[in-house]
């Protein structure tokens, strides 16, 4: 277990966490502002990936694919908000869960119908492929490093958007008192559509970016969605800062756990038992982390409301 490997795994965990953040930020924003639990967020992630893969295959340009992912997911989000989601704001959580579960069925099967069951492939663009040498002589894939940078830039952008712009003021006001801001003459229906489309665009971006490292297929969104739920439970619902911290914690725990738990157990157990027990434990590690956070802080690390 060398130092270089450790750094590489930390970077991998960071990259995974940052992509989770893009999902979790949208979820937590939508819940914070509209009070809606959106299971179909994973479908928007999938839509982003499929848009990117289809457009990149047709035009040969990865960047155009990314633009398509952002636009496609945002458009799908806005459409779904206008047709279905806005009828759910004043309903209870059970109805929200069921309606958005129904949307998953529709989106997943619809995508399977259009694109078939076989995975699509989205290639890393040439100017981002290959390794880069970091200070200290560590070789690391340039694309993954780019993902970390993009994610951090998005986090910064979101922070600026929410703390410095007029839209951000409205979003924060919407979280606190929706009747009051409606009374102040702000078109709350339009604000909700914008927030939902923004969350959808973030999910679509994550889907497209991750789609280039993994395969693009139906059902790719839901495992990420559930991890994003774990992230916002840990971070505290409604808190963007919580989503960032939670996402990095989950990303690091999952990646490092998978590598180091079997190694650590080899100190006590024979190698084959250590590998099997270690990988079982590692697959549960983030849920154990979540349970621990819940016991200590039921509202999450940065959550104001339970």
Partner 1 sequence: MIRETYLNALTLGLFVVIPAWALIADEPFTITLMTRAAIFAIAAIGLNIALGIGGLVSLGHAVFFGIGGYAMGILAYHAQTYTPLAEWPFLIDGTKSMPLIWLVAVVVSALAAFVIGTLSLRTTGVYFIMITLAFGQMFFFFTISWAEYGGEDGLSIYVRNGFPGLNTLAPIQFYGLCFVILCLVLLFTWRLSKSSFGLALNAARQAPVRVETVGLDPTRLKLVAFVISGAITGLAGALFADLNRFVSPTMFSWQTSGEIMIFLILGGVGRLYGPVVGALAFVALEHWLGGLSDYWHIYLGILLLLIVLFGRGGLIGLASGKAAVHD
Which one of 237, 245, 249, 274 is in contact with partner 1 (CB under 8 A)? 237
Which one of 16, 31, 192, 196 is in contact with partner 1 (CB under 8 A)? 31
Distance, CA of 41 to CA of 44 (rounded, Å): 5
Are residues 282 and 264 in contact, defined by beta-carbon separation less than 8 angstroms?
no
Place of tokens 């490292």: 213
- Binding of partner 1 at residue 284 (CB under 8 A)? yes
For 259, the token pair is 């590598």
Q: Are strands 138-141 and 131-134 parallel, antiparallel or unpaired?
A: antiparallel
- Binding of partner 1 at residue 99 (CB under 8 A)? yes
Q: How far is the CB of 105 from partner 1 (least distance, A)?
A: 3
- Binding of partner 1 at residue 139 (CB under 8 A)? no
**Considering only 140-148, 170-178, 189-197, 223-231, which stretch makes contact with partner 1 by CB under 8 A?**
223-231
**Considering only 98-106, 126-134, 141-149, 178-186, which stretch makes contact with partner 1 by CB under 8 A?**
98-106
Contacts of 181 (CB under 8 A, 6+ apart): 170, 173, 174, 188, 191
Are residues 167 and 174 in contact, defined by beta-carbon separation less than 8 angstroms?
no
- Binding of partner 1 at residue 156 (CB under 8 A)? no
- Binding of partner 1 at residue 68 (CB under 8 A)? no
Q: How far is the CB of 250 from partner 1 (least distance, A)?
A: 11
Q: How far is the CB of 245 from partner 1 (least distance, A)?
A: 17
- Binding of partner 1 at residue 105 (CB under 8 A)? yes
Distance, CA of 203 to CA of 198 (rounded, Å): 9
Dihedral over alpha carbons 210, 214, 215, 219 (to 10 degrees): -70
DSSP bridge pairs for 131:
141
* Count of residues that bind partner 1 according to CB under 8 A: 44
| CA dist 115 → 42, 47, 61, 303 (Å) | 17, 11, 20, 40
**Considering only 95-103, 126-134, 144-152, 156-164, which stretch makes contact with partner 1 by CB under 8 A?**
95-103
What does the binding site for partner 1 look like in residue numbers (CB under 8 A)?
A: 31, 37, 84, 87, 91-95, 97-99, 101-106, 108-110, 112-113, 222-223, 226, 229-230, 232-233, 237, 276, 279-280, 283-284, 287, 290-291, 294-295, 298-299, 306
């Amino acid at each position: 277990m060398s130092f270089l490997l450790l750094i590489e795994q930390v970077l991998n965990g960071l990259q995974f966490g940052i992509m989770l953040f893009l999902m979790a930020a949208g979820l937590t924003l939508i819940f914070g502002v509209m009070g809606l639990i959106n299971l179909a967020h994973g479908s928007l992630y999938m839509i982003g990936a499929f848009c990117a893969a289809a457009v990149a295959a047709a035009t040969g340009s990865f960047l155009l694919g990314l633009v398509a992912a952002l636009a496609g997911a945002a458009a799908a989000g806005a459409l779904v908000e206008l047709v279905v989601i806005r009828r759910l704001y004043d309903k209870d959580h059970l109805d929200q869960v069921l309606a958005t579960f129904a949307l998953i069925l529709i989106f997943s099967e619809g995508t399977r119908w259009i694109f078939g069951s076989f995975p699509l492939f989205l290639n890393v663009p040439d100017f981002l492929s290959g390794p880069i040498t970091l200070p200290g002589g560590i070789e690391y894939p340039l694309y993954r490093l780019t993902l970390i940078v993009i994610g951090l830039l998005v986090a910064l952008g979101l922070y600026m958007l929410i703390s410095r712009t007029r839209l951000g003021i409205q979003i924060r006001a919407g979280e606190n008192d929706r009747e009051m801001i409606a009374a102040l003459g702000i078109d709350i229906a339009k604000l909700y559509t914008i927030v939902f489309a923004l969350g959808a665009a973030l999910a679509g971006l994550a889907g497209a970016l991750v789609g280039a490292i993994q395969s693009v297929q139906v059902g790719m969104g839901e495992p990420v969605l559930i991890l994003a739920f774990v992230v916002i439970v840990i971070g505290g619902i409604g808190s963007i800062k919580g989503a960032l911290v939670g996402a990095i914690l989950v990303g690091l725990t999952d990646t490092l756990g998978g590598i180091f738990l079997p190694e650590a157990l080899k100190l006590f157990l024979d190698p084959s038992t250590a590998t099997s027990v270690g990988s079982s434990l590692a697959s549960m590690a983030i849920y154990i982390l979540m349970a621990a956070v819940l016991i200590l802080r039921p509202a999450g690390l940065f959550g104001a409301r339970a």
